[in-house]
Structures are given as C-alpha cells and as structure tokens.
Amino acid sequence: MTPALRTIGIAAGAGLASALLFAASAKGGALALVIAYVTPLPIMIAALGFGQATGLLAAGVACCGIAVLLGVLAGGFFGVLIGFPSWWLGYLLLLARPVTSQSGQAATSIFAWYPLGRVVAWGAAIVIGAVLAVGAAVVIHYGGYAATLASLTAHLKNVLIDVNAAERSFSESSKTVVRLLPALMGGSTFLMLMVNLWLAARVVQASGLLSRPWPALPENLRLPRAVAFVFLAAGIAVFAGGLVGVASGVIVAPFGVAFILQGLGAAHTLTRGLAARRLILFTIYFITLSIVPSLLALAVLGVVDCLLPLRRTQPPTPSPTAT
C-alpha cells in the first residue's frame, strides 16, 4: 500500500468513526453523553499518530459524514466546534523547532516543543470563537438578541415546564438558563477537547507513534499572561448584562476551566516533597468535586500562578525526531 492510500484509509476510518459517534450521541439515551464526549478522539489519534494531513482529512471526512447522516447544519456545527479544532490542537502539540547552541549550531538531538500552556490557550480561544460564531448565527436567524432570548426561553419552557411551578418563576428561570447556555457550552466543549487530547496522546504514546516526549503536565501547564488579563476583563464585563454579558461569559468559561487546570498543576507542583502531599491533594480533589463553587479557588490560584509564576518550567526534553 502506498503512503497516500494509507493516509486516505486511516483518515477515512477515523473520520467515519467520529461521524458515527456524533450521530449516535444525537439519538439520545443513557450513553449519549459518554459517546458525545469521545467524538474528537479518532481525529486526534489520527493527527498525533499518523500526521497532520491524516488528521485534517479525518476531520473533513467526519464533517461530510455527519452532513449526510444528520444534515448540512449538523456537519458544519461539528466542523466548527469539534472537528477542525481537534486537528489544530493535534498540529500544535507536535509543533517543534531545533534548539540552537550558544555557538549558533543546531542541536540535532533536542527540540523545543510548542509550549503546553499555549496549546491549552489555543484550545480555549478556538472554542470561544466557535461558540461566539454559532451564537451570532442564531441571533441573526431570530432577528436580534431580545427576539432570540424570547424564542429560546419559550422553547425551553415548553420542554421543561413543571405543572407545580409558578408560571412567572419558571419564565425567569428559563431566561437564566438560556443566558448561561452559551457559557456552559463553551466551558464543557473546551474541557471535552482537553480530555480527549490527553487521552489521544496517551493512546498514541502507548503505541509508540508519538514523536513528542510526554511532558510533565503540572510543571509545564502555564498559560500566557495575556490570557489572564483577557479573563479578568471578561469577568468584569459579565456584569454588564445583555448581549455583552452573554458574550463575556463565553470568554470566561473556557479560560476559567483552563485556569482551574493550571491551578491543579500548581497544587501538584507546590506540594511536591511534602510529607502530607497525598492527603493535601486528596482533600483538594474531594472538596472541588463535592463543592462546585470551590473551583473558583483553583481558578484564582491558576491566575496568580500565571501572573506571578510560583513554579519553574522544566527544560526542553531531548528527542531524536520532530514533526
């Protein structure tokens, strides 16, 4: 089999797998959420293990497959929010350049890989752009923000109305849910992409196909400082309300999840060497999983670590190859 046919075959298989997973999740059911969560995985495995051309082609095949199965709009939605972001994150994760010595000679055995924090920041930025684009299309379709809010609230009310609930109380609750929905979509989609990127990298590494040495996540997950300023500004703008508040929420949610991840990384690094490290980390995870508002503390730790680095980043890991 020629390399071209091999690429096409792998891409077609990965793309069709993603399309079928997405279509199966759209049918609903108890396993729908789990199935939906792993839809990016085949594309990411193709990109990380078999090259970026394979990953890009897999994303295209998935979009076309979903368009056939569920319609053109569904295919476009998948491509913007899941398909092509999955390929792009795989591309960034394998991006590298040779490290040059003080004499100006390239060190042939060492490569500086694209920083993990920037990969995460790209993931959040892509999701923010995609959700804002989808939201803008919806607002234009309904003829303005007010009309969109009224229409979506009415739809939600018809689906979820409780016969024991007061009409006015339910109407206000529906509006709140509709306002929060874009931010929830952004945060959950970003987390889904990050989990799948980690899982795909682990699968490809186990198969011996991952060209990038596996980084120490706690030490290397540090977002660019500019992200912290954008996050803080958007957090203030959320209180403006209206369309500005909703759009700002879309920015806050993915970046907030990213800073929670950085906060966890900082906690792992800062407790290293302590006798009670396991107990401390267990307590942190238990509290954050049990008391959702406590996630704010991890986000604050992540922002502080971003602006005032509390950890040292490890030097580049030697590797004989780069993609």
pLDDT of residue 101: 58
pLDDT of residue 48: 95
pLDDT of residue 76: 92
Cα–Cα distance between 264 and 198 in angstroms, integer?
15
pLDDT of residue 47: 95
pLDDT of residue 323: 44
CB 281 within 8 A of CB 316: no
pLDDT of residue 161: 54
The model's pTM = 0.86
pLDDT of residue 173: 66
Half-sphere exposure for 319 (CA within 13 Å, toward CB): 21
pLDDT of residue 262: 95
Half-sphere exposure for 110 (CA within 13 Å, toward CB): 11
- Please give the structure tokens belonging to residue 188: 């959950």
Q: CA-based angle 80:84:87, to the nearest 5?
A: 160
CB 187 within 8 A of CB 256: yes
pLDDT of residue 170: 52
**309-312 contact pairs (CB < 8 A, 24+):** 309/222, 310/266, 310/269, 310/270, 311/218, 311/219, 311/222, 311/265, 311/266, 311/269, 311/270, 312/219
pLDDT of residue 174: 67
The alpha helices in the chain, defined as continuous H runs, are: 3-26, 32-37, 41-50, 52-70, 72-78, 84-93, 116-142, 145-160, 167-206, 217-220, 225-237, 242-270, 277-290, 295-307
pLDDT tens for the chain, 323 residues long, are 788 888 899 999 999 999 999 988 877 666 777 888 899 999 999 999 999 999 999 999 999 999 999 999 899 999 999 999 999 999 999 998 887 655 555 555 677 889 999 999 999 999 999 999 988 888 787 777 777 777 767 666 665 555 445 455 555 666 777 788 889 999 999 999 999 999 999 999 999 999 888 888 888 899 999 999 999 999 999 999 888 999 999 999 999 999 999 999 999 999 988 999 999 999 999 998 888 888 999 999 999 999 987 765 544 444 544 44
